[in-house]
Structure 1
Amino acid sequence: MELLLLLWSFSLWSSWAWPASSLTDSEPPKAENVHWVSLDFKTILRWSAPASNYTFTVLFSEEDDDWNTIDECIQISDTECDLTHELLHKDRTFTADVQTEGSMNNDYDLEELPHTYSDPFNPYKHSELSAVAFSIQKVAERSVTLNISDPLTGIHGPTKQLSIRDVLKKDLKYKVSYYKAGSTGKRDLIVDSNMAQIPNLDPGQSYCFMVAAFVPGRSKSVQQGAWSPQTCTSGSSILEELDMRTVFQAVFIPLVLLIVLVTVLVIYCRFCRRKHKTPDSPSQGPAAHCTVV
């Protein structure tokens, strides 16, 4: 009877202990949803995975060449890796592999550990471009000139932080979208440089402008960057439609001449009155006065 009770107790203990052992020896987590996030050539690889004692190592390959690693992304517990300065800004395609790494307490063969490949990615062709900043440089009678600033990238060169023009060079254009205030019709203009002149505008009218980086050689989904905030001209003052030289010629020169003329006349009249009141001067009679011709 005692032997039967002992066997029964052992079976209960075994049924309780076995699931705990299974949890301890659970399968290593595999990286899921591996994807690239890149803005202005700052490129980060991200993924998701359940919490565990395992770590991850990221490997990357250029154009199916040898696999490489960086110290910052070897056996990390984070679920992202910054590869900006490894991928640089070359027109090359890269692939990443997120490898699960076992802890010191787990005896796993490296080849048996799970890994997940990313989709191919080319920062030069796929990195998104942020909104640009611009200002209205000059308002003429029938045109407006915009001064556009190149956004900075996540890449730092030997002497400065690179702009998107430093990376894209001649491939970078800017798209200007504009419309006359009160109108629903918009017009677009593609320009090559940072100084954009918008011609053929109606004099005295207010116009609104937006600007976005534009790379014609890219696929349509990543061809254009984000739009800038909108900026408008007032169109309420004639002075805003004229340049400073025209304003000077039309207003200030005549005003100066008028002031000089009035000053000369005032001085001349005062001189005449003083001369009339001097005792030694010949009598002019009661009707004597200054006459200005």
Structure 2
Amino acid sequence: MLVFGKTPLYLGICLSAWITATAENNIEPKADNVRWVSLDFKTILTWTIEASAHTYTVLHSEDDRDWEENPDCIRLREPECDLTNYLEPLDRTYAADVRTEPATVDYDDILEELPHTYSPPFNPYRESNISAVEFTVAFADESRVIINITEPLTGLHRQGKQLSIRDVLKKDLKYKISYYKSGSSGKRDVISDSSLAEVSNLEAGEGYCFMVAAFIPSRPRNTQHGAWSAQLCASRGSNVLRELSLGAWVGVVFTLIMVLVTTVTVMVLCCRCYQQRHSVHTTQSSVPI
């Protein structure tokens, strides 16, 4: 009787375990680590997922308003969604909702039951990273140089034109120029309102090195600066720019050595040919007729 009494208990435990395991296997995997990746106003929402047959649909909301679907971000199998063209106006706070969907789903019936993962808030105008700029340096006179900055292009287009960061940020965009005299550790900064900047009060005859970054003082402190450019150096004597990198110096030295070796080799061969011809001529001249 004791054995028969335990049988229903064991069956109940096994059935409960099977139901639990089945339920766990049927749970739709939620998107994890949802985050914004934005460079020069090209903005992509990314997340991590487990391998499964599920798809993901992304909705976004502007300033806590109604959620909107994005035509390019429905039933995705890859864990990313390009929202660049949907975050307008730029100077607004946006949030995204990544919803997990099974392979077959009646979307209208179970919309509210789908697993959701929400993104942190994001403001493209104030938080998109700005890439490093390129620039040139030219001496105006002994004590002044002109910095000519090429402004990066953004991921935004208007009427067939790709916008630059100046087109987007307008008067909020400035440039910070950091420079120092060759052989000195003391740096100075100059802020310019335009992409054509002047650095003055330089010591005549001295070489200077320059770096440039976009600067948006209206932004929060941690996103005010764009990436710093490569460092360029110039001296008034040669007015030749060069990047201070070990690879560049190695290349220059190697080239000089090769030119020197080639020159010496040619000279040695020419000398040997001359000596051989001279020796033959001397021998022929000494033979009696």
TM-score range, shorter chain: 0.7 to 0.9
The one-letter amino acid of 2:97's match is D
Distance 2:95 2:144 in 1: 48
Task: Give 3-state SS (helix, strand or coil) of 1:232's partner.
Answer: strand
| 1:48 CA drift (Å) | 0.9
Instruction: Name the CA distance, whole Å, in 1 between partners of 2:96 and 2:191.
Output: 36
For 1:89 and 1:41, locate their aligned partners in 2 and report how far apart those are by CA, in whole Å.
12
1:56 aligns with 2:61: no
**Is 1:165 the counterpart of 2:166 in the alignment?**
yes
**C-alpha deviations, 1:45-76, integer Å up to 9, x for none?**
11111111111110001111111111211111
Q: Which amino acid aligns with 1:28?
A: E
Secondary structure of the residue that 1:109 maps to in structure 2? helix
Deviations 1:71-105, CA, capped at 9 Å, x for gaps? 21111111110000100452111111111112227
**CA distance in structure 2 between the partners assigned to 1:25 and 1:205 by the alignment:** 72
CA contact (8 A) 1:165 1:172 kept: yes
In the alignment, structure 1 residue 28 sits paired with structure 2 residue 28: yes
Distance 1:128 1:60 in 2: 21
In the alignment, which residue of structure 1 is the partner of 2:79?
Answer: 79
Structure 1 SS opposite 2:186: coil
Letter aligned with residue 36 of structure 2 = W
After TM superposition, the structure 1 = structure 2 runs for residues 1-293 of structure 1, keeping only pairs within 5 Å, are 18=18, 22=22, 25-88=25-88, 90-104=90-104, 109-237=110-238, 240=239
> What is the CA RMSD across the aligned residues, in angstroms?
2.5
| Deviation sequence 1:217-269 (CA, Å, 0-9, x none) | 111111000011111113435xx59xxxxxxxxxxxxxxxxxxxxxxxxxxxx
SS at the partner of 2:235?
coil
- 2:116 maps to a residue whose letter is H
Gaps of 5+ in 1: 1-10, 242-293
Q: Which amino acid aligns with 1:128?
A: N
Answer whether contact 1:41 1:89 (CA < 8 A) is retained.
no
Structure 2 CA distance, aligned partners of 1:88 and 1:133? 28
Gaps of 5+ in 2: 1-10, 241-289
Structure-2 change in CA distance of 1:198 and 1:110 (3 Å)? same
Task: Give the TM-score, by structure 2 length.
Answer: 0.73
Q: CA deviation at 1:181?
A: 0.2
SS at match of 2:228: coil
**Whose radius of gyration is greater, 1 or 2?**
1
Q: Is the partner of 2:57 in helix, strand or coil?
A: strand
What amino acid sits opposite 2:46 in the alignment?
Answer: R
Residues 88, 155 of structure 1: 8 Å contact kept: no
Which AA in structure 2 matches 1:140?
D
Cα distance in 2 between the residues matched to 1:236 and 1:203: 10
Q: Kindly provide the amino acid, as one letter, of the partner of residue 217 in structure 1.
A: S
Aligned partners of 1:143 and 1:199 also within 8 Å: yes
8 A Cα contact 1:212 1:225, kept in partner: yes
Once the two structures are TM-superposed, the CA of residue 24 in structure 1 deviates from its matched residue by 8.6
Matched residue count? 227
Give the share of equivalent positions with the same residue, in percent: 55
Opposite residue 168 of structure 2, the aligned amino acid is V
